[in-house]
């Protein structure tokens, strides 16, 4: 299905900075919004239901899976996370650009469902710095941090399945890279639409709705 808005997936190991980058981009670009996922994980200190996530029970999550309410979902670090159809389809069908901050398993499902989705992987400059960021963020217990670091190596091995890679060392530079990817996609889609319109015009056909 071809929607007027664009879908971007931003994946990264925990602590690499994907939420910080997407939040900074949304402050600069009113056309971009992010999808609020559902999760069975417990909320962190500052998190609010409906803002960072819709926090649901395992039973509620399962009921949504049964009802085919998710475009993708996966088990990540021992919890379930999913993107509801409602959270994206209305916005991209109205021409908005939507950012999904989801893991690599979800990214692969999104690419199958939306061939035009752009997949971006954010890497930390090193595993040491990733560890330091998780500690500085101060939101996760030591064993949760250990599990996330252990999973990071396997997650980073998925980078070749993505369209773009951003190394988040200097934040402003990484943000610039993300902005460039979004602008390039908008230009590409606009050029494709113009070419399609020209083709139909030259054939004296009306463009399909
Ligand atoms: N597949 C999938 N992954 C998600 C979704 N929402 C969040 N995730 C991923 O779940 C992982 C853990 O997220 P979270 O608990 O918020 O930790 P954080 O990444 O350290 O902030 C990250 O890799 C997220 O990208 C979702 O809707 N679907
Ligand atoms: N380029 C950067 N340099 C230093 N710290 C960063 C950078 N980008 C993000 N951070 C910090 O690292 C921590 C993890 O970032 P966050 O956006 O929560 O990561 P993620 O969403 O990928 O788990 C936060 O405390 C954030 O302020």
Backbone phi and psi for residue 119, each to the nearest 5 degrees, phi listed first? -105, 120
**Count of C-beta atoms within a 10 Å radius of residue 164:** 18
**CB-based contacts of 137, cutoff 8 Å, min separation 6:** 15
**What is the position in ligand 2's atom list of the atom closest to the CA of 101?**
21
pTM of the model as a whole: 0.94
Query: What's the pLDDT at 4?
Result: 83
> How many whole angstroms separate alpha carbon 151 and alpha carbon 72?
20
Which residue has a Cα nearest atom 21 of ligand 1? 14
Burial of 133 (0-12, 13-18, 19+ CB in 10 A): middle
Ligand 2 contacts CB of residue 148 (under 6 A): no
Query: What's the pLDDT at 122?
Result: 98
**CB-based contacts of 184, cutoff 8 Å, min separation 6:** none
Question: Which ligand has the nearest atom to the CA of 166?
Answer: 2
Question: Which ligand has the nearest atom to the CA of 104?
Answer: 1
Burial of 82 (0-12, 13-18, 19+ CB in 10 A): buried
User: How distant is the alpha carbon of residue 8 from its chain centre?
Assistant: 6
Q: What is the ipTM of this complex?
A: 0.97
Which residue has a Cα nearest atom 2 of ligand 1? 102
**What is the position in ligand 2's atom list of the atom closest to the CA of 14?**
23
Ligand 1 contacts CB of residue 5 (under 6 A): no
Query: What's the pLDDT at 202?
Result: 85
Ligand 2 contacts CB of residue 18 (under 6 A): yes
> How many whole angstroms separate alpha carbon 147 and alpha carbon 142?
9
Written as six digits, the tokens of 32 are 């971009």
* Half-sphere exposure in the Cβ direction for 90 (13 Å, CA): 5
Query: What's the pLDDT at 208?
Result: 67
Query: Taking the alpha carbons of 187, 190, 194, 195 in that order, is the dihedral positive or negative?
Result: positive
**Count of C-beta atoms within a 10 Å radius of residue 24:** 17
Which residue has a Cα nearest atom 25 of ligand 1? 102
Sort strands 164-167 and 118-123 into parallel, antiparallel or unpaired: parallel
The tens place of each residue's pLDDT in the chain, 209 residues long, gives 677 899 999 999 999 999 999 999 999 999 999 999 999 999 998 899 999 999 999 999 999 999 999 999 999 999 999 999 998 988 898 889 999 999 999 999 999 999 999 999 999 999 999 999 999 999 889 999 999 999 999 999 999 999 999 999 999 999 999 999 999 999 999 888 888 888 888 887 776 66
Query: What's the pLDDT at 209?
Result: 60
> How many whole angstroms separate alpha carbon 126 and alpha carbon 121?
14
Q: Locate tokens 């400059």: which residue?
A: 125
* Residues constituting the chain: 209
What domains can you pick out in the chain, each with its CATH number?
7-35+96-202 (3.40.50.300)
Ligand 2 contacts CB of residue 34 (under 6 A): no
Question: Which ligand has the nearest atom to the CA of 168?
Answer: 2
Annotated binding-site ranges for ATP: 12-19
Q: Locate tokens 């190596």: which residue?
A: 153
């Amino acid at each position: 299905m071809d929607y007027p808005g664009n879908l971007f997936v931003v994946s990264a190991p925990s602590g690499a900075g994907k939420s910080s980058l997407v939040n900074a981009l949304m402050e600069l670009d009113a056309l971009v919004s992010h999808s609020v996922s559902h999760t069975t994980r417990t909320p962190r200190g500052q998190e609010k239901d409906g803002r960072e996530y819709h926090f649901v029970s395992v039973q509620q999550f399962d009921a949504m899976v049964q009802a085919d309410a998710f475009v993708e979902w996966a088990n990540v670090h021992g919890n379930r996370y999913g993107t509801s159809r409602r959270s994206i389809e209305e916005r991209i069908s109205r021409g908005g650009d939507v950012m999904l901050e989801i893991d690599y398993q979800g990214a692969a499902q999104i690419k199958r469902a939306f061939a035009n989705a752009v997949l971006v992987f954010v890497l930390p400059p090193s595993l040491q710095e990733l560890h330091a960021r998780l500690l500085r963020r101060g939101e996760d217990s030591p064993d949760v941090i250990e599990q996330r670091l252990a999973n990071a190596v396997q997650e980073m091995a998925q980078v070749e399945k993505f369209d773009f890679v951003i190394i988040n060392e200097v934040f402003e530079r990484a943000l610039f890279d993300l902005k460039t990817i979004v602008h390039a996609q908008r230009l590409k889609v606009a050029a494709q639409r113009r070419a399609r319109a020209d083709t139909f015009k030259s054939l004296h056909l009306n463009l399909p709705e």
